Amino acid sequence: MAKLPVHLPDDPYGGLVRRGPGAAAARRLGLPVPPRLRRHEPGQEFLTGPALVLRAGAAPLADDVAVWLAAAGARVVGDLSAAGEDRLGAVVVDATAASRVGDLGALRESLAPAFRRTASGGRVLVLGAVPAEAGGSAGGEFGEGFGDVEARAVQQGLDGLVRSLGKETRGGTTVNLLRVAAGAGEALRSPLEFLCSARAAFVSGQPLLVGPAPAPAVAGRERRVAVVTGAARGIGAAIAEVLARDGAHVVCADVAAAGEQLARVANRVRGSALTLDVTAADAPDVLADHLRRRFGGADVVVHNAGVTRDRSFVNLGADAWDTVLGVNLAAPLRLTEGLLRTDGALAPGARFVCLSSINGLAGAKGQANYATSKAGLVGLVQALAEPLARRGMAANAVAPGFIETPMTASMPAVPREVGRRASSLQQGGLPVDVAEAVAWLASPGAAGVNGQVLRVDGQHLTGA
Amino acid sequence: MTAPTPPPRTTRAVRPVAVVAGNRTPFAKAGGRYAQASAKDLLVAAVDGLVARTGLAGERLGEVVAGAVLKHSRDLNLTREAVLSTALDPATPAFDVSQACATGLETAVLLAGKIALGQVDAGIAGGADSASDAPIAVDEGLRRVLLALNRARTPGARLKALAGLRPGQVVPELPRNAEARTGLSMGEHAARTAAHWGVSRQAQDELALASHRNLAAAYERGFFDDLVTPYLGLRRDGLLRPDTTPAKLAELEPVFGRDLEAPATMTAGNSTPLTDGAAAVLLATDEWAAEHRLDVLAHLVDAQTAAVDHVHRGEGLLTAPVHAVPVLLQRNGWTLDDLDVVEVHEAFASTVLATLAAWEDEEFCRERLGLDGPLGRVDRAKLNVAGSSLATGHPFAATGARILATTAKLLAERGGGRALISICAAGGQGIAALVEA
């Protein structure tokens, strides 16, 4: 397959302060210097240095974590001195059993020196419990009926810790919290690997929940089939590329008017093109029929097609409202329903991934219609999670932040520059960053992640 | 590269040939949106769109067969060079065909023959033409001087060769839309045929109007969503006039047949202009289609070419299909009444109407076609129901593949049936084909 075309951002500021006299001036003036992110390349090392596995308290998962990291290619060490002079490629702390405020103090003591020693492009990952499950039913100081209030508070505290550390890292290091539900077992392995890998370069400062994976219905197919709506350009095209790189046949769907670019994308990824207006009355039947007859069902459905019609709320007419809600929210609802209703349209273990937006999580001035639709998609995946889990399927959302696309390139200069720098990684992400997250959620290993929202925003300030 | 393993050589029955999918660029008026695109560019776009829709990127097909009518000398291997620029496996063989306006259907017939005989399991047929990017030749005298100069080995001989240069030789030769033997343009030939059959101006304008309305309606209902891929920003045929009216068509001045005794009837509205575009169609065995989980739209049943003597006997230049169709129908035991879809290429509205008139004329059918009586009447409700060349335009070599794909889809859409395709061509030739689903 041809090399993926990387959309290089036109980021003159980043180029100026990264080298030469500009770098010296930026240092003296205390200007932000956006780090170069370490992204996935074929054949690269899993990590840039050894992986340190820390234990906060009982740490029931630490041994498995060490084994899994080693299997992924990491040199795993149990304490900082074993790393020698090397800077750490990853620090993983098992804090799932932390239940007392004192445990957090112990956590600080072991994590702080390791955090200082993290390499550029390093990964800090805190494993926590699901706060609602923390401490079990045994109860604590509050007595009967209260559960273990302190354990829940401690586990929720990890969220603030991780978000703060995300804002303090340098050199493109990311910090995330993986909340491990009871009985997750092997389902933890793939999220652990993903969040430590170069594929998660723009994912930072957020919690993600992993639970037990539903039992696989049947053995996976030799070549999985994925459908991506809005695949002709931008993030959709990048998603098609990464899914194809990971071995899927990608059905690239887009409107008839985008047919020329769509054909180019479909041929480049050795997939196929499908003309589909997601808002058409017959779109669910057309898509379901196509997937059933041509492929014996889809393993992955990515609801990526989306539009904007920005205007202040009072000036938003019915057209701008209905268009955005129709494409961004009503169409994914109807297509999902149609695919679930049609026997054979979905393969066993199918995954849905919706493209939300941090503007849907935080709201955005002039985007009431867009934000409503994108928040609605979060509700969609949350509502689907349980019923889909019963069928061995899953639905999740990815919420991109500021991503360098032709759309953001056409923004006015000042808001564009503000948008770029207003994240912990001080830069815009690339379409491939979003695509990596989508492809991971679509992968067999991510079976324990369901009903979640994964932000790909470099910990953007507005991203919740 | 490894040569394809030949199938075991056994006596085989003729295999049915499936029309699996089709794709074309929107067609554009010459000098319009595709002014900078070559015939090769257009062919690549048509094939790549077909490959994308059928998911065949990287596949090695048995053969790609295509052609162009207006062809540069450098394009002697046009189709093979185009294949190398597509997403198909570069080890897909190809060859060029030229039969004037019949090219696009003749390529399909040739490929179908190979499929039927077991030589090929799947392939693409089609054609492309760019009237915008037409080849321009140097003056014949200049050409001889240049060739002599190339042969000269001494300075003296070179000087002698150059002495043959004359001022008039700087004028290049442009390709002409004129018959080699008669010097008459195709339109003038058609005007003579129209006058012979008494085809009225009103009937021609009505046919042109129907073509535009049918094509516009087909686009509106999404019929072309899987038959056309936009190219260079053009999404629909540039010549399509969805809002044309009988009054607008009636206003146009006749452009052909103005020197004839009969009133001139052929205008820019009821004749096809020079057009750029390309079309491709995927043919295969039923087994190949099933292996690739592709639906079969229809089967290409049979085909027949014919030629008339427009030079010595004064037969209508574009009337060869009038002769091909009865032979073809008879060989397959079909009649005009059996047909559900009839596609008669609209080189000119008058050509279609003269063809239909000839088939209805008892005397002509007895004396010239050797039939017992009239061939019959084509139900106009079944004629060119998704529009034809008057509305789409007519990039010569692309038209056959456009019509074959459209016909196959029309049959598939109605859940089965029988179709006839009839295409006239320069040089007094024509081709007809039967399609069934």
pLDDT, residue B126, reads 97
Q: Which two tokens stand for residue A113?
A: 């020196």
Q: Are A28 and A22 in contact, with CB atoms under 8 Å apart?
A: no
Q: Are A242 and A432 in contact, with CB atoms under 8 Å apart?
A: yes
Q: Which of B212, B299, B345, B424 is catalytic?
A: B424
> Is B394 an active-site residue?
yes
- Collect all residues from A whose CB is shorter than 8 A from any CB in B: 249, 252, 256-260, 262-264, 266-275, 293-296
CB contact (8 A) between residue A273 and residue B53: yes
Which residues on A lie below 8 Å from B51 (Cβ)?
263, 267
CB contact (8 A) between residue B87 and residue A273: no
* Nearest-10 Cα torsion for A354, A358, A363, A366: -90
Q: How many CB pairs under 8 A join A and B?
A: 66
CB burial string A366-385: b at 16+ within 10 A, e below: bbbbbbbbbbbbbebbbebb
A298-303, strands of its sheet edge to edge: A272-275, A249-254, A225-229, A298-303, A346-355, A394-400, A453-456
Which residues on B lie below 8 Å from A294 (Cβ)?
55, 293-294
Q: Is the ipTM of this complex over 0.90?
A: no
Minimum Cα–Cα distance from B293: chain A residue: A294
**Interaxial angle between packed helices A368-390 and A318-325, expressed in degrees from 0 to 180 and rounded to the nearest 10:** 30
Nearest to A272 among B53, B222, B230 (CB): B53
Q: Which residue's structure tokens are 């800077």?
A: A87
Q: How far is CA B205 from CA A408, B128, B251, B358, in A?
A: 51, 28, 11, 19
pLDDT, residue A18, reads 74
Q: Are B22 and B407 in contact, with CB atoms under 8 Å apart?
A: no
Which residues on B lie below 8 Å from A296 (Cβ)?
293
Minimum Cα–Cα distance from A258: chain B residue: B230
Nearest to A275 among B226, B293, B295 (CB): B226
Q: How far is B242 from chain A (nearest CA, A)?
A: 18
Which residues on B lie below 8 Å from A260 (Cβ)?
45, 49, 229-233
The SS3 call for residue B160 is helix
CB contact (8 A) between residue B55 and residue A260: no
Strand intervals (E) in B294-399: 298-307, 341-344
CB contact (8 A) between residue A267 and residue B52: yes
CB contact (8 A) between residue A295 and residue B295: no
B54 close contact with A: CB closer than 8 A? yes
Nearest to B49 among A263, A269, A274 (CB): A263
Which residues on A lie below 8 Å from B228 (Cβ)?
259
> Is B101 an active-site residue?
yes
464 residues of chain A, pLDDT tens digit each: 444 444 445 677 777 777 777 777 766 776 777 899 999 999 999 999 999 999 998 999 999 999 999 999 999 999 999 988 899 999 999 999 999 999 999 999 999 999 999 999 999 999 999 998 888 666 667 877 788 899 999 999 999 999 999 999 989 999 999 999 999 999 999 999 999 999 999 999 999 999 999 876 566 688 999 999 999 999 999 999 999 999 999 999 999 999 999 999 999 999 999 999 999 999 999 999 999 999 999 999 999 999 999 999 999 999 999 999 999 999 999 999 999 999 999 999 999 999 999 999 999 889 999 999 999 999 999 999 999 999 999 999 999 999 998 878 888 888 888 888 889 999 999 999 999 999 999 999 999 999 999 999 999 987 65
Q: How far is A273 from chain B (nearest CA, A)?
A: 5
Mutate to test the interface with A, among B20, B229, B237, B293 (most CBs of A within 10 A): B229
Picking from A462, A256, A276, the residue whose alpha carbon sits closest to that of residue A357 is A462
Minimum Cα–Cα distance from A232: chain B residue: B52
Nearest to A267 among B51, B233, B235 (CB): B51
Nearest to B52 among A272, A293, A295 (CB): A272
Q: How far is B147 from chain A (nearest CA, A)?
A: 43
pLDDT, residue B179, reads 80
CB contact (8 A) between residue A272 and residue B54: yes
Interface of B with A in 158-217 (CB under 8 A): none
B287 close contact with A: CB closer than 8 A? no
Which residues on A lie below 8 Å from B280 (Cβ)?
none
CB burial string B19-53: b at 16+ within 10 A, e below: bbbbbbbbbbbbebbbeebbbbbbbbbbbbbbbbb
Q: Is B424 exposed, middle or buried (CB count within 10 Å of its CB: 0-12, 13-18, 19+)? A: buried
Low-confidence ranges of chain B (pLDDT < 70): 1-12, 174-176
Q: Are A225 and A299 in contact, with CB atoms under 8 Å apart?
A: yes
Nearest to B225 among A256, A263, A295 (CB): A256
Task: Enumerate residues 6+ apart whose C-beta is below 8 A from B20.
Answer: B54, B122, B282, B283, B284, B289, B294, B295, B296, B297
CB contact (8 A) between residue B222 and residue A256: yes
Minimum Cα–Cα distance from B58: chain A residue: A270
Which residues on A lie below 8 Å from B48 (Cβ)?
263-264, 267
The C-alpha atoms of residue B209 and residue B216 are separated, in whole angstroms, by 11
Q: Are B430 and B318 in contact, with CB atoms under 8 Å apart?
A: yes
Q: What is the mean pLDDT of chain A?
A: 92
Which residues on A lie below 8 Å from B294 (Cβ)?
294
pLDDT, residue A218, reads 60
CB contact (8 A) between residue B55 and residue A266: yes
B309 close contact with A: CB closer than 8 A? no
Which residues on B lie below 8 Å from A274 (Cβ)?
53
Which residues on B lie below 8 Å from A272 (Cβ)?
52-55
The C-alpha atoms of residue A446 and residue A313 are separated, in whole angstroms, by 38
According to DSSP, the residues that pair with A250 across neighbouring strands are A226
Concatenating the DSSP letter of every residue in A166-187 gives: HHH--TT-EEEEEEE-TT-GGG
pLDDT, residue A429, reads 95
Q: How far is B253 from chain A (nearest CA, A)?
A: 36
